[in-house]
Each structure stands twice: as C-alpha cells, then as structure tokens.
Amino acid sequence: MAPTPAVRQPLKLLMLHGYTQSGSLFHAKSRALIKHLQKAFPSYDVTASYPTGPIRLKPSDIPGYEPSDTADSDDSIEAYGWWRRSNTATPPLYTGIEEGLASVAKVLKEEGPFDGVIGFSQGAALAGMVAALLEPGRKEAFAHFVTQKGQDIGLPFPAELGASDFSHPQLKFAICYSGFRAPGERYRGFYENPGIQTPLLHVLGTLDAVVDDSRSRALIDACVGNPEQDGSVVWHPGGHFLPSQRPYLDAAVQFIRKQLDKTNGEAKEQEEEDVNDMDVPF
C-alpha cells in the first residue's frame, strides 16, 4: 500500500488591500509573496483570503483626481476603501471606519480562524488595528479611552467583535507594508494601555512619498518591545508598493517562521506540562 500523505497544517492569511484598491487587485499585486510563502512552507497548506473594503469610492475620492469636461459617474471606477480620511477635523477623522471594521469582523467570523494578517497602506494600518483588537484586554483599553473629562472622544470597541457569538484567537503575526498609525486621541485604544502585543513586521520604502515616515514610525512605536532592534523593521529602496524582490520576500518568510516556531514551541511545552500533570497508575 502507498503511504498515506501527511496532513498539512493550515496557514490562513487575511489579506487587506490599500485605499483605492480591491481584494482582486491586491491578489494580483501580492501573487509573488503568496507563491513564495507556499514554497517556503511545504508542510503547511497556505491559503489567503482577499476581502474588499465596504466603501466604494467616487472618482473625487481618488488623490490627484481632476474632473474632466465629461463628468465621471460614481460607478465608473472599481476602487474601494476601509474608511475615508476627513481632513475637515484636526486631527483627521476616519469616516466609515466602523463599517470597515464590521466587514473584517464578518470575514474573521465566517472564514477564520486566521493565523496572520498582511496589509498594504490603508490595509496595513487596518492590519495593525485588527491584530490589536484580537488581543486579550483590548476591550478594556478601548473603555479606558472612550470617555475623558466627561466627553466621549474615543472610538468604542467594535460591537461585532464584542458580540457573544464572536470568537477568534489572537493572531500569531501581522505584516504591514507601508503601514501607519491612525492619528489623534480617538484611536488610542488600538495602540495604548497596552501597546500592540502581536508580533508585527513593518516593511517600508525609503522613497515612499504617500505615507510619511513619521506616521509609519508612530505605528512601530505602538508595538511592545523594540521592533527595530529585533529586526522587525525592514526598509526597501523603493516607493509606495509591496516589494517583490527576493530579499524582501525572504524577510516575510523568516518573520513568519519565527512566529510559527515560537507558537509551536509553546504548544509543545503546554502539552508536556499537561502530560506531567496527569494522574498515572504507577
């Protein structure tokens, strides 16, 4: 008889696209990364889910848009976001973020559990938020910032993630390409009291003219420990895109492998402790 093939462990990734993109477009742009991960982890069944943001954008929502003589209809572009940035307030507000978080909660509930999340630009900012939201104690962190001096200034913890029928473990890792921290008091619950505990890999472009360096560093600083010192910050010599060159694909592989080894080691240690605690008849 032929030997039974070994059952591969699942390695499920949640892929979050950037502003003006879609799930299908991010799928195309991250194909090299996913293929590299599938090759690097042959003992895992690597799968990726690509939801599309719930906010369909108008042509006027696109940076640099200039109206033509023939007005574009709202349906003329396939561009989506997880929220819109409103610059009428200081600091800027993310309008529609509740809807964006609710759509991700739905994916987590229906398609999870996921092992990790990978995002680009606005999707990378969202990836950091999602990683934080699934950590123990985050609901209390949000409650701490909701009301200050009698004013409701903090974003409430997403109702969908706090529902009694929602259950998802803490993510093992997150990878943020051109990521950033949401600005201002309203979003402190994602990043403080405590900081983000899920391991994050930050991949940034030295020539990125879209996401300012200070915004990316604010996300790095929101992570516990010292991400730069432990190799969790990687720079590529390019702009605002997901790099597909071998060194940066390998950086993602090494980071994920480190987190999986850590998780598997902790699981094995727990299993040994459970065995040692058993009552045995000798």
Q: What is the mean pLDDT of residues 168-190?
A: 96
Task: Write the CB contacts of 216 (distance below 8 Å, at least 6 apart in sequence).
Answer: 178, 179, 180, 202, 204, 208
Q: Which domain holds residue 154?
A: 9-60+75-266
Number of structural domains, the chain? 1
The answer as to whether 163 is a domain residue is yes
Residue 154: give its domain's CATH number. 3.40.50.1820
Could you tell me the sign of the dihedral formed by the alpha carbons of 17, 23, 29, 34, in that order?
Answer: positive
Check: CB of residue 17 under 8 Å from CB of residue 127.
no
The answer as to whether 276 is a domain residue is no
Is 236 among the catalytic positions?
A: no
DSSP at 199: -
Question: Nearest Cα to 19, choosing from 77, 73, 61?
Answer: 61
Q: What is the pLDDT of residues 94-105, one digit of tens each?
A: 999 999 999 999
Q: What is the mean pLDDT of residues 134-156?
A: 82
Q: What is the mean pLDDT of residues 144-163?
A: 81
**Local structure of 124: helix, strand or coil:** helix
pTM here is 0.90
Q: What is the mean pLDDT of residues 244-256?
A: 97
Confidence of residue 4 (pLDDT cuts 50, 70, 90): low
Q: Which helix (H) or strand (E) holds 86?
A: strand 84-86
Which member of 22, 49, 121, 178 is catalytic?
121
Which position has the token pair 């259950």? 167
The answer as to whether 278 is a domain residue is no
Among left, alpha and beta (phi > 0; psi -120 to 50; other), residue 121 is left
The answer as to whether 156 is a domain residue is yes
**In the predicted model, what is the mean pLDDT of the chain?**
89
Which member of 27, 144, 168, 240 is catalytic?
240
Check: CB of residue 178 under 8 Å from CB of residue 235.
no
The answer as to whether 277 is a domain residue is no
Is 240 among the catalytic positions?
A: yes
Which member of 22, 30, 49, 208 is catalytic?
208
Q: What is the pLDDT of residues 68-93, one digit of tens each?
A: 655 545 556 889 999 999 888 788 89
The answer as to whether 251 is a domain residue is yes
The answer as to whether 236 is a domain residue is yes
Is 27 among the catalytic positions?
A: no
- How many other C-beta atoms can be found within 10 angstroms of the C-beta atom of residue 29? 18
Q: What is the mean pLDDT of residues 155-179?
A: 96
The answer as to whether 282 is a domain residue is no
What does the alpha-carbon distance between residue 243 and residue 178 come to, in Å, rounded to a whole number? 10
Instruction: Write down the pLDDT at residue 275.
Output: 44
Instruction: Write down the pLDDT at residue 69.
Output: 55
Q: What is the pLDDT of residues 7-23, one digit of tens each?
A: 889 999 999 999 999 99
